């Protein structure tokens, strides 16, 4: 096992900032010659290629491929190339655990990475812990920071729901309306919103007047809307899955011109073109965005990232304007792979025997400055809770695009620790 006493925050973060510029100047044949082995570092990519997460899976795949190519062009990790081994989990918890098993025992992966949907994380993380396989999720669920999982599971590249709603709740209550009804998918991710938004809204002087859970496999939603109390001033929606376009269309048809104010999480419109028929009623409404889909024209790191992942200024594929990305979430794959690189280099990772040292190296990280490795913005990682904290963006629909009207601070989304994974055994 690698001695981790020399693994410091400074060492890990210096690796993050360096960006591999020197290695990138070398010819390909020379970039890996100083490694003890030419064998690739195998990263098992648990991807939602099918099931309700397929739209996310497609763009998580593109982002992961682009980030891996950039890292390899710069010399890989510890002089070794990385190899992405993708397995479809069907956005299904049981299949997710099976995929983790194959990564460890069939493919010989060094780590597992990439899961988005929270119920799949909940079904997969226990098996990763049993196998002692570092499991880097890109999920947003509060399951990691809540202490529900294990020391082998980390979320260092994307913020969680509790942080997000804590940060945006004051804007909702003070700028839009104080009486809020929540419409949410009835599974773990939706429950994070159900459980964490009410105290955040109440702390900001508002109140939750209604909650409307909807099965995640539902395909029509009109019958749920009468459950929204008449006194509602703000409808807060966070639906997700292949029927989201139907959801927002039917919401517009139901309310007509008498709609209350609307604040949505962009999950309800990820991969959906704002110019789609039936979405006109969204003009003037607000959305949380983890990363602004439409370029705001003032971020050189975002410009670099868009170019590398093949996304235009409107958040669509450069080769097909109708292919809209999941831009608010997929940056998490890019940033998580760069955290993995930094952690492995800080831990002098050489193979599976150094998996514990890798986890400890990531736990030692704190500040993650905005850079090409972190284009979404500055972040702070909490090694005790295995959760990263960052900026949130509030955008308003207007002129056929999403325009950022507010950006929260990192501190706005922080909350007291609920766990200290560093005290747990491996």
Give 242's pLDDT tier (boundaries 50, 70, 90).
confident
In whole angstroms, what is the distance from residue 44 CA to residue 51 CA?
19
With pLDDT > 90 as the criterion, what percentage of the chain qualifies? Answer: 83
According to the CATH classification, is domain 161-289+392-413 in 3.30.420.40? no
Interval 128-149: pLDDT, tens = 999 999 999 999 999 999 999 9
* pLDDT value of position 36: 63
Q: What is the pTM of this model?
A: 0.90
- Transcribe 42-97 into DSSP letters: EEEEEE--SSTTHHHHHHHHHHHHHHHHHHHHTT-BTTB-EEEEEEE-TT-HHHHH
Domain 9-159+328-390: which CATH class? alpha beta
CB 364 within 8 A of CB 381: no
Q: What is the mean pLDDT of residues 257-275?
A: 91
Q: What is the mean pLDDT of residues 318-326?
A: 96
- Transcribe 247-301 into DSSP letters: HHHHHHHHHGGG--EEEEEGGGGTT--TTSTT-GGGTT-EEEESS-SS--S--HH
- Domain edges within the chain: 9-159+328-390, 161-289+392-413
CB 326 within 8 A of CB 59: yes
* pLDDT value of position 56: 95
In whole angstroms, what is the distance from residue 412 CA to residue 94 CA?
36
* pLDDT value of position 35: 54
In whole angstroms, what is the distance from residue 330 CA to residue 381 CA?
18
* pLDDT value of position 14: 47
Give 34's pLDDT tier (boundaries 50, 70, 90).
low
The 3-state secondary structure of 144-159 reads: CCCCCCCCCEEECCCC
Indicate if 161-289+392-413 has the same CATH topology as 9-159+328-390: yes
Dihedral pair phi/psi, residue 389, rounded to 5°: -125, 140
């Amino acid at each position: 096992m690698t001695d981790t006493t020399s693994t410091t925050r400074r060492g890990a973060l210096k690796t993050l900032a360096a960006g591999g510029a020197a290695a990138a100047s070398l010819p390909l044949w020379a970039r890996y010659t100083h490694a003890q082995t030419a064998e690739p570092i195998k990263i098992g990519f648990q991807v939602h290629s099918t099931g309700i997460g397929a739209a996310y899976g497609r763009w998580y795949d593109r982002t992961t491929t682009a980030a891996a190519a950039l890292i390899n062009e710069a010399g890989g990790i510890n002089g070794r190339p990385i190899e992405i081994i993708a397995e479809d989990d069907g956005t299904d918890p049981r299949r997710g655990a099976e995929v983790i098993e194959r990564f460890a025992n069939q493919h010989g992966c060094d780590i597992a990475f990439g899961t988005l949907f929270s119920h799949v994380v909940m079904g997969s993380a226990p098996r990763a812990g049993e196998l002692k396989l570092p499991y880097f999720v890109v999920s947003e669920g509060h399951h990691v920071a809540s202490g529900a999982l294990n020391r082998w599971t980390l979320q260092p590249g994307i913020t969680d729901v509790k942080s997000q709603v804590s940060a945006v709740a004051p804007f909702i209550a003070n700028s839009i309306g104080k009486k809020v009804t929540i419409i949410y998918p009835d599974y773990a991710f939706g429950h994070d919103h159900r459980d964490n938004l009410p105290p955040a809204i109440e702390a900001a002087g508002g109140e939750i007047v209604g909650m409307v859970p909807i099965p995640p496999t539902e395909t029509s939603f009109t019958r749920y809307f009468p459950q929204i109390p008449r006194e509602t001033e703000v409808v807060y929606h966070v639906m997700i899955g292949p029927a989201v376009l139907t959801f927002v269309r039917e919401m517009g048809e139901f309310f007509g011109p008498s709609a209350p104010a609307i604040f949505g999480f962009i999950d309800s419109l990820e991969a959906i073109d704002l110019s789609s028929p039936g979405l006109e009623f969204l003009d003037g409404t607000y959305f949380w965005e983890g990363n602004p889909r439409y370029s705001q024209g003032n971020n050189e790191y975002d410009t670099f990232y868009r170019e590398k992942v093949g996304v235009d200024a409107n958040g669509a594929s450069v080769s097909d304007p109708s292919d809209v990305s999941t831009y608010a979430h997929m940056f998490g794959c890019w940033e998580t792979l760069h955290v993995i690189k930094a952690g492995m280099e800080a831990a002098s990772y050489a193979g599976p025997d150094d998996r514990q040292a890798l986890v400890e190296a990531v736990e030692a990280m704190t500040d993650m400055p905005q850079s090409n490795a972190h284009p979404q913005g500055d972040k702070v990682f909490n090694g005790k809770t295995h959760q990263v904290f960052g900026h949130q963006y509030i955008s308003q629909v207007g002129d056929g695009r999403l325009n950022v009207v507010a950006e929260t601070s990192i501190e706005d989304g922080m909350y007291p620790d609920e766990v200290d994974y560093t005290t747990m055994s491996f």
